[in-house]
Structure 1
Amino acid sequence: MTPHNRAAKGEIAPVVLAPGDPIRAKLVAEHFLTDARLVTDVRNILGYTGTFQGKPVSVLATGMGGASIGIYSYELFTEYDVQAIIRIGTCGGLQPQIAVGDLVLAMTASTDSAWAHQYNLYGTLSPCADSNLLFKAVEISRKRGITTHAGMVFSSDLFSSYNALGPDSWKAWARMGALAQDMETYALYSTSAWTGRKALSILTMTDSCVSGEGFGSEMRMLGLYPMIELALAVAVEV
């Protein structure tokens, strides 16, 4: 056990799906996993373990922001011997070709965070996804006809709608090719690199900074099903 996770050793599977929202973790457990059981609920961050197509899979919420997913991913990798974390999150779209509901596969992540200062690097870290997980996600999405876009994402400490930089601050990152903005991918990829484990961030574009379009309330869960299904299909291949 850790201060943030009451699961005992062996109660978390080698592959973990990581949504930010605890309710999304509950949804995955109840609607997609077989024989899912609650293994942790510290701070109401829900974690479950079950099976998918006969393979053990866990799903654990990580909360919002890089600091939060950094704690949970580090503990999963180092204390629970998790081999791979697949983030299933939401993002704001920064490019016009990405439609609401499309999936973004984060090849690499940029950030405005100081997260990487802890590694004492004399340069700028650009952490990336595990290539095997990424290639498998691309292959499966093509076979299933799921619209995906692979490239850089921008992980920010600032929620795009609430920062003092102004409503157009995202445009500079869009010009540099960022496909979408989230808050967690950079910390996850950095932690996976530091611990020598695997990670992939699969994001559903729920709100477009370009067009202003977004999911209605009824789609905030249902619209995430293609992402969840893709992540589980990748998980059983790990």
Structure 2
Amino acid sequence: MTKGTPHIQPNGTKIAKTVLMPGDPLRAKYIADNYLEDVVQFNEVRNMFGYTGTYKGKEVSVMGSGMGIPSIGIYSYELYNTFDVDTIIRVGSCGALQEDVNLYDIIIAQGASTNSSYVDQYNIPGHFAPLGDFDLMVKAKKAADELGATTHVGNVLSSDTFYNADPTFNDQWHRMGILGIEMESAGLYLNATYAGKKALGIFTVSDHILRDEATTAEERQNSFTQMMEIALEIA
């Protein structure tokens, strides 16, 4: 039996090969309560809740990641390398950065650009492009189409800065075609690639940066059902 880490203490409870990973641990609890059967909790360290259950007969786990690349970097590294998880599907919210993307649209992150220095640890002699798993991406797009979701597939930005002092920051990324901004996927994709595992980010647009539109915190926690169902279908 795998021993726990300082951040994940399953105490004998199994963690599935596929883990859905929202940033908010309360969203993890929502998914477990509303979508999974035969649920058992495998982590409560630092209130970063993790649960294992079944969805349509498939074993799946769900766990919060916290905010930012340093946080998801820790949890995803341990899940991949200590607990032998094969696939992590990030489900989260993002801010739209293109005019044709609207509130509640689904963004599937083919790639994750970043202003983070997380990649520096690998000493790569150039600029590495963190990419999601292609097979997962294709399956996610198919599942989204079957649900009738409005989807966009492409590049997101995993930003280390929520409040940026540079007033041109968003404009520059907008010009480069970035669909939306979030804060975790690049770190997840790098950990997955280095470990030889799979990862994908699926997002609901919670606000529109160019149009100053936003959903409420309660809506972000409880109403992003299409994103959750897409992730569960491909788990």
Aligned to 2:164: 163
Report 1:79-158 matches (<5 A).
79-158=82-161
Query: Which AA in structure 2 matches 1:221?
Result: Q
Fraction of identical pairs, as percent: 45
Aligned to 2:182: 182
Contact 1:36 1:48 in 2 (8 A): yes
1:138-166 superposed Cα distances (whole Å, 9 cap, x missing partner): 1111122111100000111001xx22123
Aligned to 2:47: 44
Matched residues in 2 for 1:222 and 1:4: separation? Answer: 26
Matched residues in 1 for 2:144 and 2:205: separation? Answer: 15
Aligned residues: 232
Contact 1:10 1:80 in 2 (8 A): no
Secondary structure of the 2:213 match is coil
TM-score (norm 1): 0.95
Displaced runs of 4+ in structure 1, greater than 4 A? none
In the superposition, relative to structure 1, how do residues 9 and 82 fare at CA in structure 2: closer, same or farther (>3 Å)?
Answer: farther
In the superposition, relative to structure 1, how do residues 116 and 108 fare at CA in structure 2: closer, same or farther (>3 Å)?
Answer: same
Matched residues in 2 for 1:204 and 1:141: separation? Answer: 12
Matched residues in 2 for 1:136 and 1:10: separation? Answer: 29
Matched residues in 1 for 2:13 and 2:107: separation? Answer: 32
CA RMSD of aligned residues (A): 1.1
1:105-138 superposed Cα distances (whole Å, 9 cap, x missing partner): 0000111110100001000111101000000001
Matched residues in 2 for 1:164 and 1:103: separation? Answer: 28
1:160-211 superposed Cα distances (whole Å, 9 cap, x missing partner): xx22123x42110110010000000000000000000000000111010111
Secondary structure of the 2:214 match is coil
- Provide structure 2 residue ranges, at least 5 long, that are not aligned to the other structure: none
